[in-house]
Amino acid sequence: MAKYIPETIQKGDLLPPDVQALVDQKAKKSAYSYNARRSPYSMLWTVILSIVSVVYVVPVLLVIMNSFKKKAYISRNPFNLPTGKMFVGFENYVSGINKIGFFSAFLNSLIITVGSVIVIILCCSMAGWYITRVNTIFTKVFYYLCVFSMIVPFQMVMYTLAKTSDALHLGNPWGIIVVYLGFGAGLAVFMFCGFAKSIPLEIEEAAMIDGCNPVQTYFQVVMPILKPTAISVAILEAMWIWNDYLLPSLVLDKTKYKTIPIAIQYLKGGYGSVDMGAMMAMLVLAILPIIIFYAFSQKYIIDGVVAGAVKG
Amino acid sequence: MPTFIAFMIGFIVPFGLGIYLSFCKFTTVNDAVPVGLKNYTDMFKDPEFIHALWYTALFAVVSVVTINFFGFAIAMLLTKGIRGTNLFRTVFFMPNLIGGIVLGYIWQLILNGILAQFDLTLTFSEVYGFWGLIILMNWQQIGYMMIIYIAGIQNVPPDLIEAAKIDGATGRQVLGHVILPMVMPSITICTFLTLTNSFKLFDQNLALTNGLPSNRSELLALNIYNTFYGRVGFEGVGQAKAVVFSLIVGAIAIVQLVLTHRKEVQQ
């Protein structure tokens, strides 16, 4: 997709410090300047947007509120506060955690997500670098296959993928990392390729002349330059893998290993009627770690998403 | 190259096998018998599939339009230097981090709670399921698209806007003739993402209504899944559906990219 070049002077350009300061100042102003004169409306918009944000957060608050209610009351009056006899404290949490083995599911999710992301970053950055530097038919075909695989819906391969991974005994948290590497490679390789192209070849040549072998060049020169891309890839892939339901539910041996989405779905499927109390409690536990994580790293996450989208 | 080996396992082998199996009748991979195009003709005789096809198409159109409209509108507001911009941005983006299954159950609770006031449930009619999914997807994806649009709008050179204002352009003209053409790359990306996301939607559909009542609120992805794992002997048909599904998604994605790319302006 087209990369948009904003102005003749770009962020990365080397400028004398005084000019740089001017450019920075201008950039800071420009983002907001053209409507700054309309400030009388801005208060009104703040109020409107505040209301919208509250509406945005309400669903999550509702779930938290309901997780403290007795289960019989949840579907009948979900909007009432848990007061009086409705309030059950942490009972729902205890029963939910016991029913689906939440902590082992959490651990599995964590192992799979962290493991897959690390493996994807390592392998795909290497692959992306290799593809851009080695120009053969093989690398070209591989690159276009990666782009192609980003569009193909998962349903196309789900059945055969499940069978293939069964045949290779990949139905455990360690095996599924390989599957994720394979299926997540498309996006990652694509992004690393896009960025690796912009690294000047001279830097690597200089490293080679200084006596680096290709492996050293990769780890000590290329890898640090690719770091920003690596962060966005990591964020995009982690968001996908942590929340993915279908792939692990087909590939993993579900009697032994569950991830959080599978565990929550199991709460519904495993019992005739849904235990709304336990369900609400587990939803809260599923959301909470993400929100906390988000609160600490939101800047990276948002920047990563933007970078990923612009390059994609 | 470990990536290549994993890519073989994770994509190329299943993909190739998938195409081959779509021409076969089978219950496991090993007893596949070629049957020619029978799966494809069977597929179009399945009324549920046809229904899912239209349902998905309608869903994709409505959700792409609403998500991009609201996403862009909020992005415009948040680039005006309103107080609390960062906080709003954080809040609006938050639902993206919550997984599809969890989202589905959250909204099932809320929408059922609202509909219960009228003695209805979400699974009473496919119409409720449809709008429920639209609301859910809007809630989830507006924030993501907003972030991309914000980046696009901030990239518009302020000189251009000033020049247009000096030439006497009104606010609406500035938006229509300067800002919109300049953020066309972002629009391309956002429509691409929303379009493919809506077509591939699965988790949310499964958790919110699970296709109830009687598979009427089933999107294509869920329909294919149910063909595979709900009905014995229909695996071939399911695979054929998946091939058609991929072709549709691929074709639409390419057409959309070409169309919106053409509107992008070079500077």
Q: Where are the domains of chain A?
A: 101-270
Each residue's pLDDT expressed in tens, for chain A with a length of 312 residues: 344 444 444 444 455 555 555 555 555 544 444 444 455 667 777 888 888 888 888 888 888 887 777 766 666 666 666 666 666 667 777 777 777 777 888 888 888 888 888 888 888 888 888 888 888 888 888 888 888 787 777 777 777 777 777 777 777 777 788 888 877 888 888 888 888 888 888 888 888 888 888 788 888 888 888 888 888 888 888 888 888 888 888 777 777 778 888 888 777 765 456 677 777 888 888 888 888 888 887 788 888 777 777 655
Pairwise CA distance, residues A242 & A115, whole Å: 11
HSE-CB at A269 with a 13 A cutoff on CA atoms is 12
Q: Is B233 an 8 Å CB contact of chain A?
A: no
Pairwise CA distance, residues B145 & B195, whole Å: 12
> In which band, very low, low, confident or very high, does the pLDDT at B45 lie, cut at 50, 70 and 90?
confident
Pairwise CA distance, residues A146 & A132, whole Å: 13
What's the confidence (pLDDT) of residue A31? Answer: 47
CATH ID of A101-270, from 1.10.3720.10, 1.10.40.30, 2.60.40.10, 1.10.10.10: 1.10.3720.10
- Is A1–B116 a contact, with Cβ atoms under 8 angstroms apart? no
Pairwise CA distance, residues A190 & A131, whole Å: 10
What's the confidence (pLDDT) of residue A22? Answer: 53
Answer for the pair B112, B121: CB distance below 8 angstroms, yes or no. Answer: yes
Answer for the pair A185, A124: CB distance below 8 angstroms, yes or no. Answer: yes
The b-or-e profile of B177-209 (16+ CB within 10 A means b, else e) is ebbeebbbbbbbbbbbbbbbbbbbbbbbbbbbb
What's the confidence (pLDDT) of residue A236? Answer: 83
pTM as predicted: 0.77
* CA distances from residue B125 to B9, B38, B46, B147 in whole angstroms, order as listed: 41, 33, 21, 34
**Rounded to 5°, angle at Cα A241 from A111 and B72:** 145
Domain boundaries, chain B: 35-263
Q: Is B175 an 8 Å CB contact of chain A?
A: no
Chain B interface, mutation test: which of A71, A157, A310, A311, most B Cβ atoms within 10 Å?
A157
**Which residues neighbour B87 within 8 Å (Cβ) at sequence distance 6 or greater?**
A53
* CA distances from residue A107 to A66, A103, A267, B2, B130 in whole angstroms, order as listed: 25, 6, 18, 26, 35
- Is B18–A159 a contact, with Cβ atoms under 8 angstroms apart? yes
Q: Distance from B10 to chain A by nearest Cα, in Å? A: 4
Give the chain A residue whose CA is nearest to the CA of B226. Answer: A155
CATH of domain B35-263: 1.10.3720.10
Which tops the pLDDT comparison, A163 or B25?
A163
* CA distances from residue A289 to A109, A264, B105, B157 in whole angstroms, order as listed: 12, 15, 18, 39
Answer for the pair B9, A179: CB distance below 8 angstroms, yes or no. Answer: yes
